[in-house]
Amino acid sequence: MPLPNDWIAYLKENPLPVRGEVHEQICRNLQREEGDQGALVGWIRRDPGACAFIMGAAARAQRAKNRNAPHSLDHALSLLGNTWAKSELPKLGVLEDVLTDESARAGYFMGLSRSLHAARHAESWLTEFRDTNYEIVVLATLLHNFIELALWRDAPDVMRAALACVRDNRRASLGLAIQDVLKIQGIDLADLECELGAYFYLPTQLYQDEAASPVLAKHHQTIVLLARRLCFYSELGWYHTEMLATKKLIAELLNRDLVTTDQLIHNTALQTAHEFYPIGFYCSAKLLIDTQRKHREVWPLPSEYGVPPTDQQHAYLSLSDRITCSRHEPILMIKALLASLIEGLHCRSVVVYGYVQDAKVLALSINKRTEGVRVPEQLSLLQNPLFDRLFSGNKAIQVQDENRHKLIRLVDEQGQKLIHVDCYIQTLSWKGTPFALLIIDTRPGQGVREMAPLFEHFMQFWSE
């Protein structure tokens, strides 16, 4: 789904929708003869779409009178008046009605839950500082991913493309990935933030309004940025390298040690999880039970985003899961590797030889090459120095047209039957003794770049 023409104008004319329960509670409160503004504000705080609509309307009205922007939701509603609230707030769209596509709605809910989660963390840090600008910074954090939410509503495929950039490590942060995908759409993120910031009173506008106090502005900007990072990377895993680096920065911000910072962060995450559970929102606190894995190299996005792991990442993940159950059993570990190659990288043509120590030969153990293609039952290492040399250190080599004419000299007639096609050869030694030879036939375009990382991952377990 492409973005609407003149997306900025479209966003101004079509505010973000409000979650159904929040919309219902707002309308109920406004219909009462004596509404409870405290309860009304409490419900509005639960939805960034409603917050942006109200804060933006109040800020624009104040700007037209050359007055300061509102410093809280309560202040904004007081400035706009009860008549305005009763007239305008019920007109906001209901999220569940606006987003009829289930996958787009799931993505929107993920972004919505992350904005609320980030606001909870910012709130806990601001409490530590006893910051007098407490509420406006919490609101700024709640609205930090306004553009992401707008993308889930108006162009979910564009948002998924941004997430795929992060998944594939083409961009280190979601913000940079969104900048890239918007650039492809002909939209400059900085201009978009400036326009929408002024209209909806997003974080960028708050920083501009605080420019007269640069230290304060920088402090608040840091809080919003760290809360944003923390909540995004926590969805990947609490031991992600970026997550660990972010927690160190938070510890410096709070002037705490890492242990007490961890406790504060985890407590906030757990409290948020209790809040989210009855709503059905995703909360990354459930990943806290995932222990730190020394060999974790792939951090998949939550399935709710609709951005599945790549084939290579799927192979990594399935290998990690399988091999954890078969540590120190070399045959089972090899079977786990083969299953991951077949399911993840779709390498269905595989030959495995086991080492017969007394005879110094390799005996055929598994033949998954195309039906009818015969392979040698045995290989002599003495007659095949290529394989013998590879065994000195669990080495691997890619056989293809460019090097086949050289390698073919290092194998006998039986060995030539194995390397006449493009393949990836991996030797495995166990406790210093040759154990198995794996030959995986590769497809056109599939080479070391696709195969080697999975084997390197496997070797970390194998070599222990």
pLDDT at position 464 is: 52
With vertex at residue 372, the alpha carbon angle to CA 370 and CA 375, rounded to the nearest 5 degrees, is 80
| Residue pair 327/338 in contact by the 8 Å Cβ criterion | no
Task: Tell me the pLDDT of the chain (464 aa) as tens digits.
Answer: 678 889 999 999 999 999 999 999 999 999 987 778 899 999 999 999 999 999 999 999 999 999 988 999 999 999 999 999 999 999 999 999 999 999 999 999 999 999 999 999 999 999 988 887 889 999 999 999 999 999 999 999 999 999 999 999 899 899 999 999 999 999 999 999 999 999 999 888 888 888 778 888 899 999 999 999 999 999 998 888 899 999 999 999 999 999 999 999 999 999 999 999 999 999 898 888 765 454 566 788 999 999 999 888 888 888 888 887 777 788 999 999 999 998 888 888 999 999 998 778 999 999 988 776 789 999 999 999 999 999 988 899 999 999 999 999 999 999 999 999 999 999 999 888 899 999 999 888 776 777 888 888 888 888 65
Residue 193: count of CB within 10 angstroms of its CB: 17
Task: Return contacts of 27-36, CB within 8 angstroms, 24+ apart.
Answer: 27/89, 27/90, 30/85, 30/86, 30/89, 30/90, 35/82
Instruction: Determine the residue type at 38.
Output: G
pLDDT at position 302 is: 93
pLDDT at position 1 is: 65
CA distance 293 to 290: 8
For the chain, the structural domain boundaries read 7-17+99-289, 315-462
Closest CA to 220 of 132, 111, 113, 117: 132
> Which position has the token pair 């505010």?
15
DSSP structure string for 34-89 = T--HHHHHHHHTT-HHHHHHHHHHHHHHHHHTT-PPPSSHHHHHHHH-HHHHHHHG
| Residue pair 188/179 in contact by the 8 Å Cβ criterion | no
**Between 3.30.450.40, 3.40.640.10, 1.20.1440.130, 3.40.50.1110, what CATH number should domain 315-462 receive?**
3.30.450.40
pTM for this predicted structure: 0.85
3-class SS shares of the chain: helix, strand, coil, % to 5? 60, 10, 30
Say if strands 350-356 and 433-441 run parallel, antiparallel, or are unpaired.
antiparallel
Residue 332: count of CB within 10 angstroms of its CB: 14
Sign of the torsion angle spanned by Cα atoms 361, 366, 368, 371: positive
| Residue pair 126/104 in contact by the 8 Å Cβ criterion | no
CA distance 76 to 67: 13
Alpha helices in 130-155 (DSSP H): 134-142, 146-154
Q: pLDDT digits over 335-374, tens only?
A: 999 999 988 888 889 999 999 987 789 999 999 887 767 8
pLDDT at position 216 is: 86
